Amino acid sequence: MGVLPRMTQETQYTEDNIRSLDWREHIRLRPGMYIGKLGDGTSADDGIYILLKEVIDNCIDEFVMGAGKTIEISIKDQQVSVRDYGRGIPLGKVVDVVSKMNTGGKYDSRAFKKSVGLNGVGTKAVNALSSTFIVESVRDQQSVTAEFHQGQLSHQTGPEESGKKRGTRVTFIPDETIFKNFKFRSEYVVRMIKNYVYLNPGLTLVYNGEKYISEYGLKDLIEDNNKEEDLLYPVIHLKGPDIEVAITHSKTQYSEEYHSFVNGQHTTQGGTHQAAFREALAKTIRDFYGKNYEAADIRKSIISAISIKVMEPVFESQTKTKLGSTEMGGEMPSVRSYIMDFLGTELDNYLHKNPETAQLMQSKIMQAERERKELSGIRKLARDRAKKASLHNKKLRDCRVHLTDVKSDRSLESTLFITEGDSASGSITKSRDVNCQAVFSLRGKPLNSYGMSKKIVYENEEFNLLQAALNIEDSMEDLRYNKIVIATDADVDGMHIRLLLITFFLQFFPELIKENHLYILQTPLFRVRNKKQTIYCYSDEERRNAIAQLGAKPEITRFKGLGEISPDEFKHFIGPQIRLEPVLMDRTTSVEDLLSFYMGKNTPDRQEFIIENLKVELDVINDKEM
């Protein structure tokens, strides 16, 4: 064994090294411990949405406890306001509840039984991470208002008489010194809101004046997210004490799709309840048909949702994206036993009562079985190729932390850049953060996969290795990266590669897009600089503004491709200031219709669409320049 070298100078460790942080200092110094990652609002799991969620969660808890059926949410620019009509915070504790750690009603199970919100932490985190935070509570015809700035109380009024309806209003502005250049995206807020109403039939949620309600819960979730003609059979909707399940199979989708929830929390990374559901589904189907079908065949193309309620749930991450609890709580059985028993009884009964659905389901399973057997040889060869390629590091430069590392505070930062060409992949590889940023290098343009079967994914080396890198052959559960970023040149060839990759994901893995994992990397078109300052510009408008700002004829460089940007400069574009454009799709739009229009043979229709949209774009540019 080697001997550790003796330190030449002893590190000083005295009373001066001991420091105590108050609650707000600790949250502001280590925000990731409380809200996951920060971000700028580009991603659905960015910190600003966690702040919003924490406030809404408290309102939902009021509704669950039978107090208040309406929640009003307003977001204008950067200011958020959330108003419920629940019981209102006890007036003497308004300041304490939003500014003292380990203070809150959820520690008392008589007041909150199966709570959504984070015990004693959630609202404090919102307060500490906001430049302005105002809370108003109304109850018993009296109100108290407290205003904070970066977590410090600046003003308080009341108790005073009030004619307002009882309840609580929280208004906050996320702190721009923490959330750089942030912007709320309505698509993400609406999705969050819809999940709340799906999980709470009878609740009305009003967002910027628009009402959202759900009558049939998880059944509505699946039907709203998919076109009726894409579903193999009507959604199977089962409900019981503390559990709700919705199940169907897709006609066109290949892999499994799950929406799972615990106490109203969207567990995007699954957990013990989702694993139990997958196991219970396979066992129930085998028992019903009396056939020992492969679990993968049973679950292939499934679209499902499960919601359970657990006493004092334990999550594997601070942002509650993966359930770790194995027990339901109280006198209840384990999570696994409860779900197994429920599905074993209720799904079995449903299939007996609905033979047409049972027949369609069995036909789908048998089709999956045939396809699996036909592909078995190809899949084995493909796996061997993928392992060999990974071993020799030809395509993938991996990172250290992955999405599956739920206990890592950086798992949500895990990113895979898909690049084209050695120069671009080389620049990103040299400038990336090796802890959470991986690089996958394409060789030339990928194949147009529209209309092709899953067989092509295994036969085509690029697709096979990309699938292996993402680890999504059978299910999204083991997806290794939270963000998949297409990084191509901003020219015609680069745009074509983007389109072909998006087609690949839509054709075989649409859930990646539905669940907001796919992004486009925005890189600057221009660099404008003088001896004192450099400004990177992402549009002509930014270029003009930069020239006006720097004056005196600055040097202007036009970047023609990613390969022209040096690794030192690339650090600016894939670091904290990274600009990503999420690939979003209307959930009510059929994937088949989308692909058929953009990638099919309807040349005249598509040509007319391009010409009309080009006219609109040119009109916009002309208006800006006038």
pLDDT tens per residue across span 202-213: 999 999 999 999
Same domain, 167 and 31: yes
Whether residue 441 is predicted with pLDDT greater than 80 in this model: the reply is yes
* Average pLDDT estimate for 349-361: 96
**Residue that finishes a domain, picked among 151, 185, 212:** 212
444/134: higher pLDDT: 134
**Partners of 253 in the beta sheet?**
none
Whether residue 300 is predicted with pLDDT greater than 80 in this model: the reply is yes
**Residue that finishes a domain, picked among 192, 212, 232:** 212
Tokens describing residue 579: 């600009």
Going by C-beta distance under 8 Å and a sequence separation of 6 or more, which residues neighbour residue 533? Answer: 550
Same domain, 208 and 223: no
Q: 301-338 burial string, b = 16+ CB within 10 Å, else e?
A: bbbbbbbbbbbebebbbbbbbbbebebbbeeeeebbeb
CATH number, position 243: 3.30.230.10
384/364: higher pLDDT: 364
Same domain, 602 and 573: no
Residue 252 lies in a domain: yes
Going by C-beta distance under 8 Å and a sequence separation of 6 or more, which residues neighbour residue 50? Answer: 35, 36, 319
Same domain, 148 and 182: yes
Whether residue 532 is predicted with pLDDT greater than 60 in this model: the reply is yes
Whether residue 622 is predicted with pLDDT greater than 90 in this model: the reply is no
Same domain, 249 and 295: yes
* Average pLDDT estimate for 542-561: 87
Answer whether 269's CB lies under 8 Å from 260's CB.
Answer: no
- State how far the Cα of 80 lies from the Cα of 92, in Å rounded to an integer: 25
Element (DSSP H or E) covering residue 171: strand 167-174
pLDDT (0 to 100) of residue 460: 87
Same domain, 260 and 180: no
pLDDT (0 to 100) of residue 119: 42
The label of the residue with tokens 């650090």 reads 571
The region of weakest confidence among 28-37, 315-324, 454-463 is: 315-324
Whether residue 363 is predicted with pLDDT greater than 70 in this model: the reply is yes
Q: 283 falls in which pLDDT band (50, 70, 90)?
A: very high
376/284: higher pLDDT: 284
Residue 274 lies in a domain: yes
* Average pLDDT estimate for 266-286: 91
- Pairing mode, if any, of strands 210-212 and 204-207? antiparallel
In three-state form (DSSP H/G/I as H, E/B as E, the rest C), the secondary structure along 399-461 is CCCCCCCCCCCCHHHCEEEEEECHHHHHHHHHHCCCCCEEEEEECCCCCCCCCCCCHHHHHCH
Same domain, 419 and 469: yes
Same domain, 165 and 50: yes
pLDDT (0 to 100) of residue 107: 40
Same domain, 46 and 184: yes
Tokens describing residue 452: 């092709």
Same domain, 225 and 235: yes
Answer whether 239's CB lies under 8 Å from 199's CB.
Answer: no
pLDDT (0 to 100) of residue 326: 74
Whether residue 436 is predicted with pLDDT greater than 60 in this model: the reply is yes
Rounding to the nearest 10 degrees, give the CA dihedral for residues 84, 95, 44, 591: -10
pTM: 0.81
Residue 2 lies in a domain: no
pLDDT (0 to 100) of residue 330: 63
* Average pLDDT estimate for 470-484: 86
Chain mean pLDDT for the chain: 83
Question: Which among 341, 311, 340, 337 is positioned nearest to 323, based on CA atoms?
Answer: 311
Residue 11 lies in a domain: no
CATH number, position 82: 3.30.565.10
Output phi, psi for 308, to 5 deg.
-130, 160
Residue 456 lies in a domain: yes
Q: Is 378 exposed, middle or buried (0-12, 13-18, 19+ CB in 10 A)?
A: middle
High-pLDDT (> 70) share of the chain, %:
84
CATH number, position 580: 3.40.50.670
Residue 334 gets which letter from DSSP? Answer: B
- State how far the Cα of 5 lies from the Cα of 55, in Å rounded to an integer: 52
446/293: higher pLDDT: 293
Q: 12 falls in which pLDDT band (50, 70, 90)?
A: low
pLDDT (0 to 100) of residue 39: 85
Whether residue 91 is predicted with pLDDT greater than 80 in this model: the reply is yes
* Average pLDDT estimate for 438-458: 85
Residues in the chain: 626
Tally of structural domains, the chain? 5
Residue 384 lies in a domain: no
The region of weakest confidence among 135-139, 501-505, 581-585, 598-602 is: 598-602
Residue 519 lies in a domain: yes
Domain that holds residue 449: 393-523+561-589
Question: Which among 615, 531, 608, 536 is positioned nearest to 575, based on CA atoms?
Answer: 536
35/165: higher pLDDT: 165
Same domain, 65 and 143: yes
| CA distance from start to end of the chain | 75
**Partners of 245 in the beta sheet?**
238, 306
Same domain, 583 and 597: no
